[in-house]
Structure 1
């Protein structure tokens, strides 16, 4: 699941949108264009996909474009470059793990672990995903279902398929939402979503619902809005689809000696965990790696380079990233699950004072590294693992201590 699909507050949406001036006359014109688009463009494809006219009309009964949604392009206009996002300050990775945020998930998870013990045990037996992982995702996505789903999915997906910057993506999701109703998996009135069209407590896009939602409570159809067993089992089914390895955790916090380069990070530079241990990498807290893990593959993960905690991740860490393509999200889920299972204990390593740059500064640094032949992934202003290790390689090549994280001096040196 993509990060932009997460539920956000109205205030944030308003900020992202700026001031959208639409007169009543122009809004009425857009409404007319939307209705014409539904009938002449969307309906023929929906019909070809097996959607009945009754389902189609019910889904869009009374639906008008919601012009308060972000990332819209008015009919006849060209998309605007999102300068503000690019100039935004890049925050320290440590801010993502604010104790108040983590504790809300872990305390809530423990409270629900006992109440749902039989369900979680049954799900783990079938799918092999530990209950703590499911609880952490559930808590992170919608506060264990407390987050409201205030939007009509057909209003959101219809608006975005008609006039967003990602029309093709949302058109596919809109057709999938119609299929959900057509197949009797959910009635039109139940199709409540986030501002981005993500459905229910697991925040599944409609295509993910069709692939992964399961009815685990014996109700006959998956209800990811109201049924806790269905919510948890659907999350597990999603993770299994993307390769969750039964019997393995997500990873371990470690200490990395200076003799081990931070540029060895990444899912394409795996080694047996015994090999990492032979290089001097140790588990934080002094515990040995489990014997069952020593011959298995692990990956170095340093989200803030030398300025933060380090980890040896398992392939399951990268399965968690399929839920939300962010190292920090996957780490939050793994860390939260550990705390649900073993009690609240923060990372042993501390997050350094990094993150005082603008995204445009980091993007400029990335472009400079690309020009020198380094693979940074993309010059998007976000220091992913390819950018981090490219920084480390450049620093080593130029006689500097490798930190594997951008800073103001590095930006200046590479201009």
Structure 2
């Protein structure tokens, strides 16, 4: 009995000891293992001091500027396109939310009218400045006003992010580290040169600065002092803002005296697969093929011998345009066809009144981006150049669709739809 009692006591004591040991170890883990964010913060600070600072120093950035820029800054893990240290980028999952309605949604009247009415109001108030800028740079004031309005609501939009938090996070752990590292070093140079104090460096989620929404490298290259006060100020000076936008466009090839483009009617005899900046013709040649300006207007005589390009953002299911090289300069501001078209259209409405496109946007879209990417890969496998299988139907994808349709005895629409996705699977 004494043996059973002694043996039983030993077993119970062992169980108690094991449980106590387990609980103690668990508590120890909770107390000693940092949260997910803590090591990231530590790694970020180590990266700043051991990796970024040596390069910044070689570029003439002082320790005072560097430390002030990153004082209290931590990685913002809510930003898009981040990859945790030591991990690989995640493979995109099939998207279940339909992303593509008609491209016409981009031109919602409320959005366009906010830019055009605001532009006209500011055109009168800044007439002398705009005239001086156009004389120097050759960019019409209406184009500058449309960009200004689209980017920041004529400066009314408040930038909610700390630029060094955004650029630092992305240079440390985004899918485009090298790009953002360059921009981060440029942001430090902006402060070092006295172009803006650290506290003024507020940005968008992508790190764009000021009323024109310039990335830091663009600010250093293209921002100008147009009001003559001795400093570049794209945060508060309207003349500097507008002239800086003009200088940016001129750098990328803006052609003085030319329009951005014209809305046209494209007959069925002209294939939509002729779209693109690498398939240009003299505008007189497009006219000879039956392409006409809407409203019975003639193309300006000065444009007839110049090159133009077919632009059909929704294929046969939307308005069509003959674009000039200046349209593609606008795409240097934002790579989207729809953005550049919005700016051109907005500028026209600022200049001539609120008249919408003549052509309507058809019921295209309602596809998943992953579906369009699959379609693009299928076209690539058949030898077509779609640009990139990224799920975005750019002009190379649109015209490849048209060419496939024509080759397979179908009427070319040059825009993805559910039937086409199914046919090409």
> Shared fold by TM > 0.5?
yes
Task: Using the TM superposition, give the Cα deviation of residue 308 of structure 1 relative to its aligned residue in structure 2, in angstroms.
Answer: 0.6
> What's the secondary structure of 1:89's corresponding residue?
coil
Verify: 1:202 aligned to 2:212, yes or no.
Answer: yes
Match 1:110 to one of 100, 120, 133: 120
5 Å-filtered alignment, 1:388-407, equals: 388-407=398-417
> What's the secondary structure of 1:387's corresponding residue?
helix
Rounded Cα–Cα distance in structure 2 between residues aligned with 1:296 and 1:194: 38
Rounded Cα–Cα distance in structure 1 between residues aligned with 2:343 and 2:150: 8
Verify: 1:218 aligned to 2:211, yes or no.
Answer: no
Match 2:268 to one of 258, 277, 294: 258
Contact 2:227–2:237 at 8 Å: present in 1 too? yes
Rounded Cα–Cα distance in structure 2 between residues aligned with 1:401 and 1:188: 58
5 Å-filtered alignment, 1:126-145, equals: 126-145=136-155
Contact 2:147–2:343 at 8 Å: present in 1 too? yes
> What's the secondary structure of 1:224's corresponding residue?
coil
- Name 1:353's counterpart in structure 2: 363
Match 2:71 to one of 55, 58, 61: 61
Task: Using the TM superposition, give the Cα deviation of residue 86 of structure 1 relative to its aligned residue in structure 2, in angstroms.
Answer: 8.7
Rounded Cα–Cα distance in structure 2 between residues aligned with 1:290 and 1:24: 69
Task: Using the TM superposition, give the Cα deviation of residue 88 of structure 1 relative to its aligned residue in structure 2, in angstroms.
Answer: 4.6
Contact 1:86–1:381 at 8 Å: present in 2 too? no
Rounded Cα–Cα distance in structure 2 between residues aligned with 1:85 and 1:115: 47
Rounded Cα–Cα distance in structure 1 between residues aligned with 2:252 and 2:95: 30
Match 2:239 to one of 229, 232, 257: 229
Task: Using the TM superposition, give the Cα deviation of residue 169 of structure 1 relative to its aligned residue in structure 2, in angstroms.
Answer: 1.1
Task: Using the TM superposition, give the Cα deviation of residue 158 of structure 1 relative to its aligned residue in structure 2, in angstroms.
Answer: 1.0
Rounded Cα–Cα distance in structure 1 between residues aligned with 2:97 and 2:71: 41
5 Å-filtered alignment, 1:163-182, equals: 163-182=173-192
Tell me the TM-score normalised to structure 2 length: 0.90
Task: Using the TM superposition, give the Cα deviation of residue 30 of structure 1 relative to its aligned residue in structure 2, in angstroms.
Answer: 2.0
Rounded Cα–Cα distance in structure 1 between residues aligned with 2:148 and 2:55: 34
Task: Using the TM superposition, give the Cα deviation of residue 74 of structure 1 relative to its aligned residue in structure 2, in angstroms.
Answer: 2.4
Rounded Cα–Cα distance in structure 2 between residues aligned with 1:227 and 1:81: 44
5 Å-filtered alignment, 1:223-302, equals: 223-302=233-312
Verify: 1:147 aligned to 2:157, yes or no.
Answer: yes
- Name 1:372's counterpart in structure 2: 382
Distance verdict in 2 for CA 1:237–1:391, change over 3 Å: same
Rounded Cα–Cα distance in structure 2 between residues aligned with 1:26 and 1:358: 33
- Name 2:101's counterpart in structure 1: 91
Rounded Cα–Cα distance in structure 1 between residues aligned with 2:414 and 2:35: 54
Rounded Cα–Cα distance in structure 2 between residues aligned with 1:304 and 1:349: 11
Rounded Cα–Cα distance in structure 1 between residues aligned with 2:230 and 2:127: 22
Match 2:314 to one of 286, 304, 311: 304
- Name 2:52's counterpart in structure 1: 42
Rounded Cα–Cα distance in structure 2 between residues aligned with 1:226 and 1:317: 28
Larger radius of gyration: 2
Q: Which runs of 5+ in 1 are unaligned?
A: 1-22
Distance verdict in 2 for CA 1:219–1:83, change over 3 Å: farther
Distance verdict in 2 for CA 1:249–1:285, change over 3 Å: same
Task: Using the TM superposition, give the Cα deviation of residue 408 of structure 1 relative to its aligned residue in structure 2, in angstroms.
Answer: 1.4
RMSD over aligned CA atoms reads 1.4
Rounded Cα–Cα distance in structure 1 between residues aligned with 2:47 and 2:422: 50
Q: Which runs of 5+ in 2 are unaligned?
A: 1-32
Task: Using the TM superposition, give the Cα deviation of residue 89 of structure 1 relative to its aligned residue in structure 2, in angstroms.
Answer: 2.4
Task: Using the TM superposition, give the Cα deviation of residue 85 of structure 1 relative to its aligned residue in structure 2, in angstroms.
Answer: 5.8
Task: Using the TM superposition, give the Cα deviation of residue 201 of structure 1 relative to its aligned residue in structure 2, in angstroms.
Answer: 0.8
Verify: 1:190 aligned to 2:222, yes or no.
Answer: no
Contact 2:95–2:370 at 8 Å: present in 1 too? no
Task: Using the TM superposition, give the Cα deviation of residue 24 of structure 1 relative to its aligned residue in structure 2, in angstroms.
Answer: 7.4
